[in-house]
Every structure is written in structure tokens, then in C-alpha cells.
Amino acid sequence: MNSRSHSPLSGPHEVVFAMFPGIDALDVTGPAEVFAMTNLVLEAGTGHPGHGGGRGGGYEVHLAGERRGPVETSAGVRLHVEELFSEQGTIDTLVVPGRIRIGADGPEPHVDPAVVAWLREAGPAAGRVASVCVGAQVTAAAGLLDGHRATTHWATAERFAADHPAVEVDPDPIFVRSGRMWTSAGITSSMDLALALVAEDHGAEVALEVARIMVMYLQRPGGQSQFSVPLAHSAGSRDDLRELRRWIGEHLDADLSVPALAVRMSMSERHFARVFRAETGSTPGAYVERMRLEAARRLLERTSRLAPDIARACGFGSVESLHRVFRDRLDTSPGEYRSRFRTAA
């Protein structure tokens, strides 16, 4: 074992990526770029790191694997591993990238046995463990996600839930924090996850400055539901309905009844409902309710807004309706949901 072990509040914050053959390149390089840019922002002082109350130093990124040498990624680009799993001490942030393959039945996660074995040993002592995309399945195979809420690539979420019933799988969010365990959705969300880690470590001002320089959103516009709920439904072939679904996501507090939406589409109510279901696999009412529920969940997780305000903003009309949907769909109340899943605002 090497001697690398730092207090979370002193010295550089060490980030170790668990490397294995065929790894998705962006799962590693995306977060690494965010951490590198954060170091530059901290050195320049442009993000006012002293206001964040976070860790004192920047980030040191290490690539660790079962053996040293080049590791070929899914993109054909080779990344060089200079450290062994067996050489790692206590890790501040352990990042578990993924490898997604396209099989006959669609995207499939690859679970590397060497990484699973190492995670069983190193994961419990790490300051936090962050899984990228289908890396969540690797982390779950090591038993680290049992009892936690987690997300992953939307196309593999159903399989994830079936393989790991002790994990509360939520296919909708871009990323999820559950205690010291972090998980993210599809490949590009690795950078959203890294920004969230930066915000936790150094405050929102630093993360915002990093996002500006990298031409990223600190929080993707419209909330996470615009990326999650539509993905759970067929994309469809009609541009007008795709535009309507985008509009719904941006106007959840509007009248989104079937009559109102049919008028907007210049269709009869019956024809609109039939076309919408054919295109999305969902009734308009069910789609709207799910969009509103996801928006309410994000507000409960990320803000201190009161239930009446959230009910109005998300189009529920009343606190009673908000409670009913949470009870029917999630078997909990908005207050209980917030107490379990609230992250730093």
C-alpha cells in the first residue's frame, strides 16, 4: 500500500479512477477535464473558493488498474495506467467509470470482475464513491449501493433494478447523491456529476465559474425531467409532438389538460389523444403527471421552497394534489421525500 491518504480538508483532494479494458473514454476524460479546470480556477482565484467552505486544495487525478500500461478505451484511444489497485491508500473520491456495449437487445453494461474485487476492498474506506453511467452496476456488484438510491444509463435501468433489488434505482435523474455514494446517468452526464462534486467541495461559485469556462450548464435548463421523462417514451416521428413535449416541460404550471393541448395542436381531443399515445406510448394525462412529479422531486431535492409553492410551480394546483401523486406514485409524502433525498441547495 502506498502512503497517499489526505484529510478531506487539507492538501490536494485525490481522485482515483478505476480503469479496465474497453472503458468508455468520456467517463474518464470528461470528469478529469472538470477537475483540471477547477484547479486552474482555484489557482487564479476567479471562483472565490474561500466562499465555498470546501476543501482547501485542488484535485490530483490518478488512474489505477489491475496492471500498469496502456488501457484501450471503447473509442480506441489509449489511456495510460501508472498505478496499481494494490498500491492505493485511503481515497478521497473513487470514480467508477463504465463500459456500455450494444447487444442484440440494446445497451448492456460490462461488469469487470477485477474492479468489483477491488471495490469491495477499497470502496468502504473511500471518502465518497462516484459511479459514471453503467459504472453503477459495477459498484452495485461490489455491494456498495445496497440500501442507496442510484441512477444509471436510462436504457439499462430496468436490468439494473432486476439484478440488484437492494438498490433503489431511479432512471430519471442526471445524477443522484445518496450519502457518500454518487451515481450519474448516461455517458455525458459524467461532467454534470463532476461539477456537482466540485460544488460540494468548493462551493457553487467555483463550480459556476468552471461551467462557464467549459461552456457547460451548472444545472441543465428545465430541470432533470426534460432529459429523463421524454427518454422513457418513444421519440416518435412527428416534429409537432416533439415540440409539444418540449413545451410541456417548460410550462408545467399551464393548463395541460387534453382539451387545452388538443387546441394547441389544432386537433380534436380524440384524435390528439390517439396520436399522442401512438407516438409516445403514454396517454397525455399520464405523461403530464409524470413530468410534474419529476419537476417536484427536483425542487424538493435542491431547494427549500415550500410545498404550496412547489405545487403551484409544477402545475398540481393544490398541496393536496401534490401529496396524492407522491403517495400514489412513490408511496411517500413530499416531506418524507425531501428528508431522504435533499441535497445541498
pLDDT in tens, 33-72: 999 999 999 998 755 444 333 345 799 999 999 999 999 9
CATH of 222-345, one of 1.10.10.60, 3.40.50.720, 1.10.1200.10, 3.40.50.970: 1.10.10.60
Cα angle 123, 128, 133; round to 5: 85
Q: What's residue 71's pLDDT?
A: 96
Task: Give me the mean pLDDT over the 236-241 stretch.
Answer: 76
pLDDT at 219: 55
pLDDT of residue 343: 59
Beta bridge partners of 16: 62, 94
Per-residue pLDDT of 75-128, as tens digits, reads: 999 999 999 999 999 999 999 999 988 877 778 899 999 999 999 999 999 999
pLDDT band at 7 (very low <50, low <70, confident <90, very high): very low
Residue of 238 and 132 predicted with greater confidence = 132
Percent of all residues in the chain with a pLDDT value above 90, rounded to a whole number: 59
Q: Which pLDDT score is estimated for 3?
A: 38
E-strand spans in the chain?
13-18, 59-65, 69-72, 78-81, 83-84, 93-96, 100-103, 106-109, 128-131, 149-150, 168-169, 175-178, 181-184
pLDDT of residue 217: 62
Of 47-51, 239-243, 244-248, 281-285, the one with minimum mean pLDDT is: 47-51
Residue ranges of the alpha helices (H) in 8-79? 25-44
CATH second-level architecture of 13-213? 3-Layer(aba) Sandwich (3.40)
Contact 174, 227 (CB under 8 A): yes
Predicted confidence (pLDDT) per residue in 135-155, tens digit: 999 999 999 999 999 999 988
Say if CB 4 and CB 89 are below 8 A apart. Answer: yes
Given a cut of 60, whether residue 194 has pLDDT beyond it is yes
Enumerate the CATH 1.10.10.60 domain ranges in the chain, comma separated: 222-345
pLDDT band of 237, cuts 50, 70, 90? low
Mean pLDDT of the region 289-293 = 91
In the chain, which segments carry CATH 3.40.50.880? 13-213
Q: How far apart are CA 261 and CA 263, in angstroms?
A: 5
Confidence of residue 10 (pLDDT cuts 50, 70, 90): low
Residue length of the chain: 345
State the pTM of this model: 0.64
